[in-house]
């Protein structure tokens, strides 16, 4: 795969619509209840430009629900989630601001990969030429005219990532993007996200693959049972490398550190 840089910045801030020093994503007191079940409770954290922020927690911790609240797909019970200072649905051009991958299977399996992206491009007002560029970027050009339902899990993941990159966004929000990728693909993803962030863009990536996140992320937000456990830099999280992220994570979630 090609590891070319994506994301577009303006001269003022390094990110579209973001003032210098302002968070790319801000979550304040976010709570979501599904009936009697509280999936997310009073969650507060920020994602800064120029950094890869890992969003960590065990299965069922509330990571996906939180990401969906940030993206306006799930309505919070209380609290707010904003992207570049406003709710996602108020963004003038959402796909040109945020690229998101929430599910591996988020396309009509009878549609070709290229046509799936052309459908998204039309909705986002993006030229069809960009479709070929992102297919090339994720190394799916040769498979672009095959039905997406015939893709392997890794190819589906890359197709979803291509969709997220269509609008050349300055923020990426990815839910378990490494699932299904082979080691080469994981390495490509890591390099890509780090370069993306180094260009002044923001990345929020959820995962429970702690070894991978330790290498990929600059900062980590750890949640457990819907509540924030800790937000810190990876250096602080691992005590300057003296313990692994896995050890730190287990200590926080099963030890004494639950906030």
Partner 1 sequence: MKQQIVSEFRKLRTTRSAWSLLAGTLGLIALGVVAVLWESNHTTLAAPLADQPVLHIALSLTWVFVMILGLRSFTDEFRNGSIVPTLLADPHRRRVLAAKLAAVGAAAVLFTFAVAGLTLAIWLPWLAAKGVAIDVAVAPLAVWFGRLLLIDLLFAAIGVGVGLAVRHQVAAIVGSLVVITVVENLMDAMAPSIARFLPAAGAWAVAGLGGAFMRPIGGALVLVAWAMGAFVVGAFLMERRDIV
Which of residues 84 and 252 has its CB atom nearest to partner 1 in the complex? 84
Residue 145's DSSP bridge partners are none
Q: Which stretch binds partner 1 (CB under 8 A): 7-15, 104-112, 185-193, 216-224?
A: 104-112
Among 88, 192, 224, 249, binds partner 1 (CB under 8 A): 88
Both tokens assigned to 153 = 């899990």
Spell out where the chain has E strands: 25-34, 37-47, 52-56, 78-83, 98-101, 171-175, 202-207, 219-224, 227-233
- Judged by CB under 8 A, the chain residues 18 through 77 that form the site for partner 1 are 65, 68, 71-75
Q: Which is nearer to partner 1, 74 or 155 (CB)?
A: 74
CB under 8 A: which stretch of 13-21, 89-97, 196-204, 221-229 binds partner 1?
89-97
Which of 45, 55, 107, 224: binder of partner 1 (CB under 8 A)?
107
Query: CA 89, CA 20: separation in Å to the nearest integer?
Result: 22
The answer to whether residue 102 forms part of the interface with partner 1 (CB under 8 A) is yes
Place of tokens 């300057």: 240
Residue 188: both structure tokens together: 């490509």
Q: Of the listed pieces 87-95, 218-226, 232-240, 250-258, which binds partner 1 according to CB under 8 A?
A: 87-95
Q: Which stretch binds partner 1 (CB under 8 A): 21-29, 102-110, 216-224, 241-249?
A: 102-110
Q: In the structure encoding, which two tokens stand for residue 60, read together?
A: 């069922």
* CB 72 to partner 1: min, Å: 5
Rounded to whole angstroms, the Cα distance separating 62 from 121 reads: 30
In sequence order, what are the beta bridge partners of 31?
78
Binds partner 1 (CB under 8 A): choice among 24, 100, 155, 202: 100
DSSP structural state of residue 57: -
* Dist. CA 210–CA 146, nearest whole Å: 34
Closer to partner 1 at the Cβ: 146 or 187?
Answer: 146
115 binds partner 1 (CB under 8 A): yes
* Overall size of the chain counted in residues: 259
Is 98:173 a contact under the CB 8 Å cutoff?
yes
**Given the complex with partner 1, which of 53 and 65 has the nearer CB atom?**
65
* Binding of residue 123 to partner 1 (CB under 8 A): yes
37-47 and 171-175 strand pairing: unpaired
- C-alpha 102/C-alpha 174 separation (Å) is 6
Q: Is 23 left (phi over 0), alpha (psi -120 to 50) or beta?
A: beta
| Minimal distance, residue 22 CB to partner 1, in Å | 21
Point out which residues bind partner 1 (CB under 8 A).
65, 68, 71-75, 88-89, 91, 94-95, 98, 100, 102-103, 105-112, 115-116, 118-120, 122-125, 163
């Amino acid at each position: 795969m090609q590891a070319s840089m994506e994301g577009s910045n303006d001269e003022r801030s390094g990110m579209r619509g973001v003032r210098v020093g302002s968070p790319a994503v801000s979550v304040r007191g976010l709570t979501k209840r599904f009936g009697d079940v509280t999936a997310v409770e009073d969650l507060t954290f920020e994602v800064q430009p120029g950094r890869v922020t890992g969003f960590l927690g065990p299965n069922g911790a509330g990571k996906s629900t939180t990401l969906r609240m940030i993206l306006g797909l799930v309505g919070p019970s209380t609290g707010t989630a904003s992207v570049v200072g406003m709710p996602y649905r108020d963004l003038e051009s959402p796909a040109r601001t945020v690229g998101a991958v929430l599910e591996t299977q988020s396309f009509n399996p009878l549609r070709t990969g290229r046509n799936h992206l052309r459908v998204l491009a039309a909705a986002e007002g993006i030229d069809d030429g960009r479709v070929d560029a992102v297919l090339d970027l994720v190394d799916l050009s040769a498979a672009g005219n095959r039905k997406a339902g015939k893709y392997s899990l890794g190819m589906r993941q890359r197709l979803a990532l291509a969709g997220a990159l269509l609008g050349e966004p300055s923020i990426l929000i990815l839910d378990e993007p490494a699932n299904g990728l082979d080691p080469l693909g994981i390495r490509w993803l890591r390099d890509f996200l780090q370069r993306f962030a180094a260009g002044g863009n923001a990345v929020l990536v959820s995962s429970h693959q702690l070894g991978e996140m330790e290498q990929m992320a600059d900062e980590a937000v750890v949640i457990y049972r819907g509540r924030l456990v800790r937000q810190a830099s990876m250096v602080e999280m691992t005590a300057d490398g003296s313990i692994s992220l896995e050890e730190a994570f287990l200590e926080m979630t099963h030890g004494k550190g639950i906030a």
